[in-house]
Amino acid sequence: MGAIDVFAEYIYRIFIRLLLFVESFRWAKVEGFVLDCSVKDSPIGCDLVTIRYRVGSEPDPWIAAEEIPFLSPRDANWYARKCVVNRRLRIRVHPTYATETHFFEFDQK
């Protein structure tokens, strides 16, 4: 039963991220910086890497976070180790609500 739970949650979270990706495709992309990355080991469901990042100019920055699902703890740990503090990111910002942001690895290339 545990493997089914992990896979079901993973598919659900990937589907939600896909919808967010499509919705935000034409949003402006701004520079952000990684604050930290951590792995949430889930006893039920898939593992999540939480990336916290800072967006905005220095006098008025804001902090946001993105959760990225992984099927295996090994892959989640590898991704979190790859995430370097103060690394520059391209963050999608909602045109009307500037505090609504999304991070996608696709935009980093």
Distance CA(68)–CA(63), nearest Å, equals 17
Mean pLDDT of 24-40: 93
Q: What whole-number distance in Å separates Cα of residue 61 and Cα of residue 107?
A: 21
Long-range contacts from 51-60, C-beta under 8 angstroms, 24+ separation: 51/83, 51/103, 53/89, 53/91, 53/103, 55/30, 55/31, 55/91, 55/93, 55/101, 56/30, 56/98
pLDDT tens digit sequence for 74-85: 999 999 999 889
Instruction: Please tell me the predicted confidence (pLDDT) of residue 102.
Output: 93
- Which range of residues forms the domain containing residue 47? 2-108
- The tally of domains found in the chain comes to 1
Higher-confidence residue of 57 and 54: namely 54
Is the separation of the CB atoms in 88 and 51 below 8 Å?
no
pTM of the model: 0.85
Segment 80-99 shows an average pLDDT of 91
